[in-house]
Amino acid sequence: MILIKNSQTFNALIKEKKAKNLKIGFVPTMGALHAGHLSLIKSARQKCDIVVCSIFVNPTQFNVASDLTNYPRPIEKDIQLLVHEGCDILFHPEVDEIYGNGLVKDSSSDFGSFIHLLEGASRPGHFDGVITIVKKLFQLCEPKEVFFGQKDYQQCLVVETLIQRNFPNIVFNLCPILREEDGLAMSSRNIRLSAEERKISYKIYKELKNLKDNWQTQQWEIALKNAKHILNEAPFKLEYLSVCNAKTFDSIDNFEENAIALVAVQLGNTRLIDNILL
């Protein structure tokens, strides 16, 4: 695997590969890699000639300073995992390499009303930061296909919108959520959970699953009410649990085909998100 920290060197290597007609698959991450990230690398490996991963903890998408400072950065271990998975190129720039030349932060305000809901409402400025970095990385990496996890479902909609507008030739791949045995969605933040919190964190997926199981019956509104109650009992603090249209995020009163449940909770000091297509 080739490790590159410099943007120009990175783009020059990409151009070299593209000149040979090699198909570039790209997996952007913030590192602290787990099996969920690696499943994206595997998908890219299956569909593309050259697999590129980026590890960049993007400061502009964090709206809480301590979250950025405490974000895990086990780069040596990440490199080993990527080598093992057969990744070809790792782009791992410093913050100055990306933002040093006065990169102007993009605005997501006209991306459609869905962007202002849920994560958009809970984390002001978050999607502006996401768009800024994803756009920059796409420009440098010039991928044919990109791979994102359903775990960050709203982010996937944002990136799909960005692709439609700015990168119409990129193929977007939505990859399934990998979970721990008890159902907890894998996340780089899970290591911050205390043993006690980790033990009860299965409840998040259990409630989502229960909603899905009741979705086609009259019982789903009761399931939703129960879930909201359970996920707001200490040490859980519910930020949102929304059942909505999976494309527009319009709220749903009655059964409909294209629906999703999305949740964000604080468990102690850790913020966790998850979702399920209904």
* DSSP-derived pairing of the beta strands 145-149 and 171-175: parallel
Q: Answer yes or no whether residue 92 interacts with ligand AMP by CB under 6 A.
A: no
Site string for ligand AMP, 157-176 (x = CB under 6 A): ------------------x-
Q: Answer yes or no whether residue 149 interacts with ligand AMP by CB under 6 A.
A: yes
Among 24, 37, 89, 246, binds ligand AMP (CB under 6 A): 37
**187, 34 Cβ separation under 8 angstroms:** yes
Q: Answer yes or no whether residue 62 interacts with ligand AMP by CB under 6 A.
A: no
CA–CA separation, 271 and 269 (whole Å): 7
Q: Answer yes or no whether residue 260 interacts with ligand AMP by CB under 6 A.
A: no
- Kind and range of the H or E element at 209? helix 202-214
Q: How many CB atoms lie within 10 A of CB 278?
A: 22
Single out the residue of 109, 118, 108 nearest to residue 245, CA to CA.
118
Window contacting ligand AMP (CB under 6 A); options: 76-84, 120-128, 149-157, 260-268: 149-157
CA–CA separation, 222 and 82 (whole Å): 44
Residues 244/250/254/255 CA torsion (nearest 10 deg) = -50
Judge whether 37 counts as a catalytic residue: yes
Q: What is the DSSP letter of 234?
A: T
> b/e per residue, 140-164, with b = 16+ CB within 10 A?
bbbbbbbbbbbbbbbbbbbbbbbbe
- Placement of tokens 């919108």 in the chain: 161
Q: Answer yes or no whether residue 192 interacts with ligand AMP by CB under 6 A.
A: no
Q: Which of 34, 37, 92, 116 is catalytic?
A: 37
Q: Answer yes or no whether residue 151 interacts with ligand AMP by CB under 6 A.
A: yes
In terms of CB distance, is 81 or 252 closer to ligand AMP? 81
**264, 119 Cβ separation under 8 angstroms:** yes
Q: Answer yes or no whether residue 264 interacts with ligand AMP by CB under 6 A.
A: no
Q: Answer yes or no whether residue 270 interacts with ligand AMP by CB under 6 A.
A: no
Q: Answer yes or no whether residue 186 interacts with ligand AMP by CB under 6 A.
A: yes
Q: Answer yes or no whether residue 152 interacts with ligand AMP by CB under 6 A.
A: yes
Number of residues that bind ligand AMP (CB under 6 A): 17
Among 30, 115, 208, 246, binds ligand AMP (CB under 6 A): 30
Tokens read off for 105: 């932060």
Q: Answer yes or no whether residue 148 interacts with ligand AMP by CB under 6 A.
A: yes
Q: Answer yes or no whether residue 129 interacts with ligand AMP by CB under 6 A.
A: no
**Which chain residues interact with ligand AMP by CB under 6 A?**
29-30, 36-37, 39-40, 148-149, 151-152, 175, 177-178, 185-188
Active site residues: 37
